[in-house]
Amino acid sequence: MIERIETGQRMSKVVKHNGVLYLCGQVGGTGSVTEQTQECLARVDALLTANGSSREHILQAIIWLADMSDFAEMNGVWDSWVPAGHAPARACGEAKLARPELKVEIIITAAEKE
């Protein structure tokens, strides 16, 4: 069974299928890469918690940066956020994001807690 959560015309915030959560891309508002990454990850935490998962259950992360020169700054936030021993499979690349002020977008796939 597929469950769609907070579904609009364009997308759902979360889709659950066979114990796996697929989160839509999370972005920050304005500010530095550090601030936007912190905001993205706070939104990820909220969605995971509300839907029966956690940081320890993340399977995969895809991170898009507007500028790869921000890679180290974003990683500084990411590395302190990911629980030790629970790093997911991850990819990071550069992409033109939806709005010019956006610096980072994070897409998460996670397992539900057992």
By residue range, what is the domain housing residue 26?
2-111
pLDDT at 79 over 90: yes
Q: Is the pLDDT score of 102 beyond 90?
A: yes
What are 97's two structure tokens? 């994001």
Residue 114: is its pLDDT beyond 90? no
104-111 and 20-23 beta bridge pairing: antiparallel
- We report the CATH number of the domain holding residue 85 as 3.30.1330.40
Cβ neighbours for 42, distance < 8 A, ≥ 6 positions apart? none
Helix axes 33-50, 71-81, angle to 10 degrees: 30
pLDDT at 29: 87
Rounded to 5°, the CA angle 44-61-15 comes to 60
Assigned token pair, 26: 């999370």
Residues 42/50, Cβ–Cβ less than 8 Å:
no
pLDDT tens for 29-76 read 889 999 999 999 999 999 999 999 999 999 999 999 999 999 999 999
pTM > 0.85: yes or no: yes
Q: Work out how many domains the chain is built from and give that number.
A: 1
